[in-house]
């Protein structure tokens, strides 16, 4: 139980385009999901907390207009990287909270050329 | 600010050796504590967690961790490691429903 999926698992895009990443809780409902970014050889950096039916809460330094988060249902949150630049290339990971535990998706590797 | 520190960034052990990975946190209030593991090429998986009760918690794959409140510690242990335990281990503390992460410890088990 408590499975979280992400799609796509990897994506390559051109600079200036937008990329949407989906995070789904497959066997449970999650009112709260989280989006992280993981840099090479570093720990996870929380980007934002996504709450179903309301606006996401962004961490300091994360541009909300660049990283659009939508949590339209209890099983789906999306992260859209708008006008992507090469410095946005990274590994993006989502998690969904069940009770007091976060369960993680497999991550999406984004490469912006 | 709350923080989580993992003392060892890299640990190399031989099979059958005993393991202890240190984790200390700075938050003084009530905390929920977690250990997550990331095997090579795989995503983060919950290894074990502590919310309350018995401070010695047992997780999957023979791992256990002990919460020592007076030391602000939540060290991970395994009596006898296997080659398949090669992975990166992350300690995390839940503060206000957000996870504060340690930097991770890369564990390499020599066959």
pLDDT digits (tens, 9 = 90+) for B22-70: 999 997 777 899 999 999 888 899 999 999 999 999 999 999 999 999 9
Say if the Cβ atoms of A101 and B49 lie within 8 Å: yes
Name every chain B residue with its beta carbon within 8 A of the beta carbon of A44: 90, 99, 101
> Of residues B6 and B41, which shows the higher confidence score?
B6
Q: What is the pLDDT of residue A74?
A: 93
To the nearest whole Å, the CA of A106 is away from the closest chain B CA by 4
Say if the Cβ atoms of A105 and B90 lie within 8 Å: no
What does the pLDDT average to over B94-98? 78
Burial (0-12, 13-18, 19+ Cβ within 10 Å), A20: middle
Encoded tokens for B19: 């393991």
Q: What is the pLDDT of residue B30?
A: 79
Neighbouring residues of A4: CB distance < 8 A, sequence distance ≥ 6: A23, A24, A25, A26, A94, A95, A96, A103, A104, A105
- For A68: left if phi > 0, alpha if psi spans -120 to 50, otherwise beta; the answer is beta
To the nearest whole Å, the CA of B109 is away from the closest chain A CA by 19
Q: What is the pLDDT of residue B92?
A: 94
Give the residues of chain A that fall short of pLDDT 50. none
Say if the Cβ atoms of A32 and B101 lie within 8 Å: no
- The residues of B whose Cβ lies within 8 A of any Cβ of A are 32, 34, 36, 42-46, 49, 51, 90, 94, 97-99, 101-104
> Of residues A44 and B20, which shows the higher confidence score?
B20
Q: Which residue has the tokens 């999650």?
A: A30
């Amino acid at each position: 139980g408590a499975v979280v999926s992400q799609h796509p698992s990897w994506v390559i895009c051109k600079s200036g385009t937008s990329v949407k990443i989906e995070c789904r809780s497959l066997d449970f409902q999650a009112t709260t999901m989280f989006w992280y970014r993981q840099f090479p050889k570093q720990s996870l950096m929380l980007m934002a907390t996504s709450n179903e039916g309301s606006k996401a809460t962004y961490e300091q330094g994360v541009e909300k207009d660049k990283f659009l988060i939508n949590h339209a249902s209890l099983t789906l949150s999306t992260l859209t990287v708008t006008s992507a630049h090469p410095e946005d290339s990274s590994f993006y990971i989502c998690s969904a909270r069940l009770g007091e535990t976060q369960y993680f998706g497999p991550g999406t590797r984004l490469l912006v050329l | 600010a709350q923080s989580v520190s993992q003392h060892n960034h890299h640990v190399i052990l031989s099979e059958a050796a005993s393991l202890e990975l240190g984790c200390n946190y700075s938050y003084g209030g009530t905390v929920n504590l977690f250990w997550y593991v990331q095997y090579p090429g795989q995503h983060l998986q919950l290894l074990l967690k502590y919310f309350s009760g018995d401070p010695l918690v047992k997780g999957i794959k023979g791992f256990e961790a002990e919460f020592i409140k007076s030391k602000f510690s939540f060290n991970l242990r395994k009596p006898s490691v296997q080659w398949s335990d090669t992975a990166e281990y992350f300690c995390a503390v839940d503060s206000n429903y957000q996870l504060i992460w340690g930097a991770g410890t890369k564990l390499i088990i020599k066959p």
